[in-house]
Amino acid sequence: MINKRIAVIGIPGKWSTEVLANHLEQRTGYRCVIDMADVVLELETGELRYRDTLLNTLDGVIIKKISETYSPAADDRLRMLKTLEADGVRCFSSPSQVGRLINRLEGTAALASGGIPLPATRVTESTDAALEAIQTFGKVILKPLYSTKARGMVVLKAADGVKANTQILNKFKAKHGLFYLQKFVNLGGQDLGMVFLGGKYLCTYARVGDDKSWNTTIHSGGKYRTFDASSELIELGLKAQSCFDLSFTTVDIALTDEGPVVFEVSAFGGFSGAKKGCGIDAAEKLCDYVLSQLEAETAETETAEAGE
């Protein structure tokens, strides 16, 4: 047993959260799954509590899921965890880095600044400008800034006419406020999830659609398959994930007629695709990585103290 107390920030009862907690318990004898909805931050002391557990006394936390869905409230939860990190508790990944990916605009803007190929994108509050983008591209995907698994996304086509598209845009704006429109690209029935651990390539899986939906997400009926990524494609994934500093992540890539494009870098990454598509227990490997990082830090501290 390794004498470390590491908690999992996640959704109690969810497979990805529980399987990670299981691996940690097997190696450390300690198990703690934290639901951020029940966490209390004491600003006057900087202490973060989850029921009877003082999180500031932990050796580390793994942020597997900050909430069931992405929203501005998820940003608030990450701000709470920043106080934990400031107190010396190691967070995998850092809340500051995760926060850059909760909001779709901030994440893709960072990728664009890093020279990563993306589908042509327009961001505006103007309905007229949004209509112009639809006309220019012919077909677009209208995306909420906060969403996962293609939830809330709408496909708009210029052929449907200005009146119909205006009605959809106005309804969308009333709920979300900002238009994020991305040129529709042909996925060829699949897109790829490229998995990275500690900034190093782990594997690639494909999500294959069921021909009933425009997207290939598992939520919409897609299935995981193995995929042998080329060295050039892996290099693209490495470059995309290097725009952030994440302990574990998945880069979503599509192979289009105009070449590969990156849709997003995941704030948390997924275990299911690596397991079902590549036969790799990514939860176990993340657990090993976290423990090795904490053990290395302990060794450095002990060496420094011995030299004093």
**Does residue 193 sit in the same domain as residue 176?**
no
φ/ψ of residue 255, rounded to 5: -95, 105
Asked whether 57 and 87 are in contact (CB, 8 A), the reply is: no
**Does residue 174 sit in the same domain as residue 193?**
no
**Does residue 232 sit in the same domain as residue 247?**
yes
Q: Which residue is listed with tokens 């939906």?
A: 213
The pLDDT score that the predictor gives to residue 212 is 56
Inside any domain, residue 69 = yes
**Does residue 89 sit in the same domain as residue 12?**
yes
Q: Quick one: tokens of 302?
A: 């002990």
φ/ψ of residue 144, rounded to 5: -65, 150
**Does residue 156 sit in the same domain as residue 228?**
no
Cα–Cα–Cα angle for 205, 116, 150, rounded to 5 degrees? 50
- Identify the CA nearest to 96 among candidates 51, 66, 57: 66
The pLDDT score that the predictor gives to residue 307 is 66
**Does residue 214 sit in the same domain as residue 275?**
yes
One pLDDT digit (tens) per residue for the chain, 308 residues: 789 999 999 999 999 999 999 999 999 999 999 999 999 999 999 999 999 999 999 999 999 999 988 888 899 999 999 999 999 999 999 999 999 999 999 999 999 999 999 999 999 999 999 999 999 999 999 999 988 777 889 999 999 999 999 999 999 999 999 999 999 998 778 899 999 999 999 999 999 876 555 455 555 557 899 999 999 999 999 999 999 999 999 999 999 988 999 999 999 998 999 999 999 999 999 999 999 999 988 777 666 666 66
Asked whether 185 and 120 are in contact (CB, 8 A), the reply is: no
Inside any domain, residue 164 = yes
Residues in Cβ contact with 53 at an 8 Å cutoff, skipping those fewer than 6 apart: 7, 32, 34
Asked whether 48 and 22 are in contact (CB, 8 A), the reply is: no
What angle separates helix 72-86 from helix 95-102, to the nearest 10 degrees?
A: 170
CATH number at residue 260: 3.30.470.20
Inside any domain, residue 197 = yes
CATH number at residue 168: 3.30.1490.20
Inside any domain, residue 43 = yes
Inside any domain, residue 107 = no
CATH number at residue 76: 3.40.50.20
**Does residue 67 sit in the same domain as residue 151?**
no
Inside any domain, residue 301 = no
**Does residue 125 sit in the same domain as residue 144?**
yes
The Cα-based distances of 250 to 83, 185, 190, 206, 268 in angstroms read 26, 20, 16, 12, 8
The pLDDT score that the predictor gives to residue 250 is 97
The pLDDT score that the predictor gives to residue 211 is 59
Number of domains in the chain: 3
Asked whether 90 and 56 are in contact (CB, 8 A), the reply is: no
The pLDDT score that the predictor gives to residue 181 is 97
**Does residue 276 sit in the same domain as residue 233?**
yes
Peptide bond into 242 cis (omega under 30): no
Q: Which strand (E) or helix (H) includes residue 205?
A: strand 200-208
Inside any domain, residue 292 = no
**Does residue 91 sit in the same domain as residue 179?**
no
Q: Residue 70: give the domain boundaries.
A: 6-95
Inside any domain, residue 109 = no
